[in-house]
Structure 1
Amino acid sequence: MTKKLISIFLLVLLVLSLGGCKKENENASVTAGNTNPTTLRVGFCPGPYSEMWRTAIAPQLEAEGYQFEYIEFSDYVQPNNALANNEIDVNLFQHSIYLKNFSTEHNLDLSLVTEVPTAGMGIWSNTTASLDEVVDGATVTIPNDETNQARGLRVLESAGLITLKADADKAKAIPDDIDQNPHNLKIVPMEAAQLPRTLDSADLGVINGNFAISAGLDFSEVLYQEVLAEGYVNVIAVRTEDNDAQFVADIKAAATSDTFKSTIEEPSGKFYTFQKPVGW
């Protein structure tokens, strides 16, 4: 009888031990890079895309059991490095051309999931009421990263303030590629996040939409607003190794759903005037 009780006791201990191991393994799968984590770490830069995620994407995913940790970065370099280093699971801040160029330059294996509506660049000023009033020798600040510097120069060209050399690669244009500069503008490349602050000293600033919104600039006062070319609509990005993961499929479904679109197209909302991806 005693041997039988001991056997039963040992069996119970074994079952409890196996159950504990199983629970530990289940917990580990959520935190150690499981292909479908229940808590997603999402990275942004200052601007409207954090709010876009929180209001138009997150509620759909939360209904499916996902939770989120949000991380905001101060520049355009950190979010992709953090994604590649598995410090976050997904980011939303950049257009596809920047993603491609940055990934190639830094040897990162990142992929876009889908495009989202995007606020284009604009030309802003605290001192000039219209582009017809731009003074000779005016100082103009533009982004200094390769992709957005070229983009900023193209915005100035589209606005009629400069022309670029006919043989210049406009996707990689730099100030030296300026051909005609009738106002003798002084082009000053700066870190994109700092551009809104330069309006206190510069005559004009060519500012990315997300940083303009983050700084509280009023789009009704923009002197010129970019019409986005193909490749310059912002994207949701993940590590390429996660492309086939369920959480990526769920993100894409949420960001292309009718629910997402109805939130974006709400006339009283922040995103109503954003330029839409092709096929929207």
Structure 2
Amino acid sequence: MNVRKKVVLAILSSVIVTALAACGTQNKEAKNEGDTKSVEEKVIGVAPGPYGDMVTDVISPLLEEKNSGYTLTTKVFNDYVQPNKALDKGQIDGNLFQHTAYLEQFATDNDLNLTALQIVPTLGMGIYSKKIDSLEDLKDGDIISIPNDASNLARALLLLEVNQLITLKEDVNVAKATVDDIAENPKKLEFKTLEAAQLVRSQDTVTTALVPGNFSWAAKLDPADALALEDLAEDYKNVFVVTTDAADSDFAQAVKEVLESQEFKDAIAESSFKDFSKPEFWSE
């Protein structure tokens, strides 16, 4: 009987130890599963320029560092039209290529429900030329290429006015100004309106070109070589955009948290975007 008891006790001890080990393993696995958050890939529409790099080099890594559960990839569009339409159709999850003024005008004109989450550092429009070294070198009748979309056209005209090349009508809505709103044009400059993507190339056939930051960056134009640079108003700084229905989603809130974080400011300060115009709320 003693031998039998010893055998039984040995078997029971083995079973108990195995059960405890299994339980410990299950708890460890459960703990590890709880610590590891599944990562969902989101696609962000961008235009040629710095903002695709800003998404992949700064925003996405910060989302991952915060264990938000999201990582970002980019889809490049070669115009200012498709990124918003693709977002509205659910083909992408967000976009970063446009400023507030353009977003509001485009959404109204196309009946789209899109929402800006937050402003990001932005490279302004510049006046570039392959033919002259200073705006003082402009001659009567010289041709200047400018963007043909409403909000960027207005920006271009304001930039020309600031540099005393034209004067706009006193009663004009500067956010909607067109060439028809030019009151004075002392040098009788001619204006050639083009899609933004064509402005850099147009330097070969015009005297100067007014190029939005996206496209000047993509073409590796050095802002230091610009004949003049835009002092960006807040409405003309770029925004990270999602559909209005998704504005309160976990993903949108995670992005907004990153864009408003000190970590984002610090990362920008150490990046190639450090000299971009900063959002006003950064200094508040």
Normalising by structure 1, what TM-score? 0.84
Gaps of at least 5 residues in structure 1 are 1-35
Q: Cα distance, 1:230 vs. partner? A: 2.7
Please tell me whether residue 39 in structure 1 is matched to residue 28 in structure 2: no
Q: Quick check: 1:204 aligned with 2:199?
A: no
Out of 27, 52, 55, the residue aligned to residue 54 of structure 2 is 52
The whole-number CA distance in structure 2 between the counterparts of 1:96 and 1:185 is 29
Which structure's CA Rg is the greater one? Answer: 2
Q: CA deviation at 1:67?
A: 2.9
What is aligned with 1:218? Answer: 222
* Structure 2 gap ranges (5+): 1-37
Per-residue CA deviations over 1:223-260 (Å, capped at 9, x if unaligned) read 00001113111000000001111111110111221221
1:251 is matched with 255
- Is residue 140 of structure 2 the alignment partner of residue 143 of structure 1? no
CA deviations 1:49-80 (Å, max 9, x no partner) are 01111111110222323233321000000000
Partner of 2:75: 71
Match of 1:28 in 2: none
- Structure 1 outlier segments of 4+, above 6 Å: none
CA–CA distance in structure 1, aligned partners of residues 47 and 185 of structure 2: 33
Equivalent-residue separation in structure 2 for 1:159 and 1:212 (angstroms): 19
How much is the aligned-residue C-alpha RMSD, in angstroms? 1.3
Which residue of 2 is the match for residue 230 of structure 1?
A: 234
**What residue number does 1:241 align with?**
245
The aligned residue for residue 274 of structure 2 is 272
Query: Do 2:56 and 2:73's aligned partners in 1 also have CA atoms closer than 8 Å?
Result: no
Percent of residue pairs bearing the same amino acid type:
44
CA contact (8 A) 1:162 1:181 kept: yes
| Contact 1:161–1:183 (Cα < 8 Å) also in 2 | yes
Equivalent residue for 2:20?
none
Q: How far, CA to CA, are the matches of 2:70 and 2:233 in structure 1?
A: 34
1:144 maps to amino acid:
N
1:174 pairs with 2:174: no
State the TM-score, normalized to the length of structure 2: 0.83
Give the aligned length: 243
Report SS of the residue matched to 2:214. Answer: helix
- Cα shift at 1:184: 0.9
How much has 1:219 moved relative to structure 2?
0.9
